[in-house]
Structure 1
Amino acid sequence: MSFKIVIDSCGELPENYKNNPNFESVPLTIDVDDFHIIDDETFDQADFLKKVAASPNAPKSACPSPERYMQAYETDADNVYVVTLSSQLSGSYNSAELAKSLYLEEHPGKNIHVFDSRSASVGETLIGLKVEEYEEMGLSFEEIVEKVENYRKGARTYFVLETLETLRKNGRLSNLKAFVAGALNIKPVMGATPEGTIYQIDQARGMNKALAKMVSVIEKNTPDSEERILGISHCNCPERAEYVKGELQRNMKFRDVLIVDTAGISSTYASDGGIIVVL
């Protein structure tokens, strides 16, 4: 059976997958004041970060339309798998589901499943790679959906932000709390619940201490690390990503490690210097 994996652009494709015919990235869009940015291969992270830093307003994102998803479903592949960022953070999942319903009305024989990643960034990437792994094993569409949904339920997302400014701008954090955190150099250690909502796990003074706390939390919560792929995405800080990788590998073994740089939507969430870990 042939297959296609569609991932919205919050999930970064590794370089060696960007020209893989079995994968397609469906772009979201971002508005920073009067600038309209498409989160595709034209995205310029450095320019984007400058625009965000210079603006008093939060970037605004828009999910792909159902019509755009339907274009991605137009394929000769028998099985189509779609991975979106958390439905708690975006309408991308609902748009993909609506597109599925509309497409199947005219193409009832197509197999399409939409995964709500309950995560973002490299968390979506890992789901896509898991689908590919099971497809190459020759499992049926139904078996793959069941196994990948179980994998998704067991995956955990953690992240540390360099700045709280984006959260302040979009109203998720009070000005006072953001000011105090900035003045005291407090860095929050964040996570995602199994439902895909964001919560604060801990905090520390300074980035290195916050990363160390995140590493400690991951070590405590991941007894089966040898069976997992460690996914790390970073926003403009490759050295920091390598540092986190090294710290985690000191006491843990992983099946594999994947490091990617954030694209547009993930850069919006992570901000300059942010680190996201999924496993």
Structure 2
Amino acid sequence: MYKIVVDSCGELPEELKKDGHFETVSLELEVDGYRIKDDETFNQLDFLRRVKKSITGPKSACPSPEQYMQAYEGEAEHVYVVTLSGKLSGSYNSAELGRNLYEEEHPGENKQIYVFNSRSASIGETIIGLKVQEFEEAGLPFEEVVARTEEYISSMNTYFVLETLETLRKNGRLTNLKALIANTLNIKPVMGSTKEGMICQLGQARGMNKALEKMVQDMIGRTRDCEQRVLAIAHCNCPERAAAVKARIEKLANFKKIIIINTAGVSSMYANDGGVIMAV
């Protein structure tokens, strides 16, 4: 038996929520002192309203090692954990500490636990979980599942385009001047992840449609063996925009599967209203 534990930055489609192999460990959000658990009770529209009104912007808190320890309980002999990039959150370190503590408290137990640093976020975590499941269902041994999944993570890329830079500005990740110029000139940055899991700017365009087109073109140019890969698109409260991106991609390449999902709490905080994220 196996279990795949994903922190709540990784959105799970409904079929995976009902799949007994997946479990979510929730982060917590805070907006001006109002605390929000990133679980099935998360209200995206209320959260976005609070973020828009906030002067200081939202914050997030990673799960505790104890939360991860609880997720490791159960009959599964193989436990795989997928967390938000260790460069963006303490979730990875917390999951590792939880693993160490669990193994200390359960000496001799026939359970193998491995924590993957996704070096990504949002649906980047989701497709890693799907790859783990693919390898497990194929009957591969634990060590080979880990090795192949790490190889897959190294081949992945994550991209996103933001409608607004306000959350980044409020969090101190962007200067007021840069945010002002971008908003005034309607410049949309095309962002991505580095191989280490940091956020970088890949380019920019004037207007959302041109920025989304640039993101798609960058992704197509960097992706090999599209027919063998699952591509995932997450959107923050803009399903029509995500559907348009999917339609554009389908004209340019033939992917094994394309998934579209609305962002949960942590990803909504990063993407903000109107943001689009892709991972492949």
Aligned twin of 1:18 = 17
Identity over aligned pairs, percent: 62
Q: Distance in 2 between matches of 1:53 and 1:236?
A: 14
Deviations 1:52-111 (A, max 9, x none): 001111211000000000000011100000000000100000000000001011224310
1:70-109 paired onto structure 2 within 5 Å: 70-108=69-107, 109=110
Cα separation, 2, equivalents of 1:84 and 1:240: 27
How much is the aligned-residue C-alpha RMSD, in angstroms? 0.7
CA distance in 2, matches of 1:87, 1:220: 27
What SS class does the counterpart of residue 119 from structure 1 fall into? Answer: coil
Number of residue pairs the alignment of both structures matches? 278
Q: Distance in 1 between matches of 2:128 and 2:106?
A: 25
Q: Show the counterpart of 1:180.
A: 181
Structure 1 segment 90-239 matched on structure 2, within 5 A: 90-108=89-107, 109-239=110-240
Distance in 2, matches of 1:241 and 1:116, equals 26
1:242, CA displacement in angstroms? Answer: 0.7
Give the secondary-structure state (helix, strand or coil) at the position aligned to 1:132: helix
Structure 2 CA distance for aligned equivalents of residues 183 and 33 of structure 1? 27
Task: State the shift of 1:154 in Å.
Answer: 0.2
Cα shift readout 1:212-267 (whole Å, capped 9, x = no counterpart): 11111111111321111011000000111111111111110101111111000000
SS in 1 for 2:196: coil
**Residue 274 in 1 paired to residue 275 in 2?**
yes
For 1:176 and 1:32, locate their aligned partners in 2 and report how far apart those are by CA, in whole Å. Answer: 24
Query: For 1:127 and 1:100, how far apart are their aligned partners in 2?
Result: 19
How far apart, in 2, do the equivalents of 1:69 and 1:214 lie?
35
**Residue 134 of structure 1, CA deviation:** 0.8
AA in 2 matched with 1:83: V
Match of 2:35 in 1: 36
In the alignment, the residues of structure 1 paired with residue 117 and residue 104 of structure 2 have an alpha-carbon distance, to the nearest angstrom, of 22
Q: Give the letter for the 2:254 counterpart.
A: K
Residue in 2 aligned with 1:245? 246
Normalising by structure 2, what TM-score?
0.98
Give the TM-score taking structure 1 as reference length: 0.98
Measured in 2, the distance between the counterparts of 1:87 and 1:147 equals 20
**1:95, 1:236 → 2: CA distance?**
30
Q: Which runs of 4+ in 1 moved over 4 A?
A: none
| Structure 2: gaps (5+ residues) | none
In the aligned structure 2, how far is the partner of 1:179 from the partner of 1:156?
29
Distance 1:185 1:101 in 2: 48
Structure 1: give runs of 5+ residues left out of the alignment. none
The code of the aligned residue for 1:152 comes to: I
